[in-house]
Structure 1
Amino acid sequence: MTDDLVAALRPLLIAEASAEAPASGAEPGDLEQAVWLRLLERLDSEGPPPDPSGWLRRAVRSEARRSRRTTRRELPYEHEHEPAADADRHDPERLALTAARHRALRDAVRRLPGRCPRLMAALLSPEDPTYREIAGELGISQGSLGPERSRCLGCLRRLLTPEVAARSARG
């Protein structure tokens, strides 16, 4: 039953994900994998949807909206703390704070579970490898990197939240 459903929905999912991906800022493969995961979770809890093709279209659009929201909220890290002048780049206090931030990030990455430390190290690498290179290095499929990255970033966010919250003044 599940194999037949997957085989029947595969062409529709590929088409829908390819159509929604450019506007959402996501890769079509990431949208596809997120929808397959949603379908498997639904099959475990509720069984197959009554209208599988309608459910699939709604799921793809929902994942695309989620991706757009996430993309809008994320800011490039490289522009976060750009110094105003060359003199600021050699400021000992700024250098010490930057080193402490990098150290905290590396320590948190090392505490992540499973493949996350290797994946995050590859993503944070100064060589800036492609998804294909990272997938080859880790021995996993390229399509699973996006969801795996999301899970790892969620874990990293949870690890760093207490540290970030403790440093800022409340109230």
Structure 2
Amino acid sequence: MDTTALLESAANGDQAAWDTLVDRFASLLWSIARAHRLSDADAADVVQTTWLKLVENLGRIKDPDRLPGWLATTARHECLRQIRRGDRERPTDEEPWQAEPAPGSGVDAALLLEERNATLWRALATLSEQCRQRLRVLMATPPPSYAEVSAALDMPVGSIGPTRQRCLGRLRERAGLAGLGTEDGA
């Protein structure tokens, strides 16, 4: 189903159309939030707020083919808002929780992160050259549009998402075999 039909159906309350939109563009929003180096909680807030803004503006989207750009711009603005908000929220010395060490901080956390990253890079190296190339292009910062990816990799736009999912699935398998599990069990 094309974006125009999905937007119209979602505006009319079709949950399946909304779910398809979310599935289609969620990775774009998450990549933008991660590119701004937000915490997981802040990135989740940005993604959720971006979807909320789309709900509020469903009837006002004039060119549905430009929805990815609209979502990306909205997500970037939300990231910047979140960063500014974080700059204003500064804890004071009067709060007793500051005396406690942060959980997971210190040398152990840094070593675990370094080990995880090394394992992930080794798993990536076991993928085919095509998968490695596609994942590198797709995970660039800032994230490229599907049209740019299509031109760079000489592949149809409609193949990009499914191919990315297959490559990420293979990477998850290889990382899992190397002992790197996912936090959410997925």
- TM-score band, normalised by the shorter chain? 0.3 to 0.5
TM-score by length of 1: 0.46
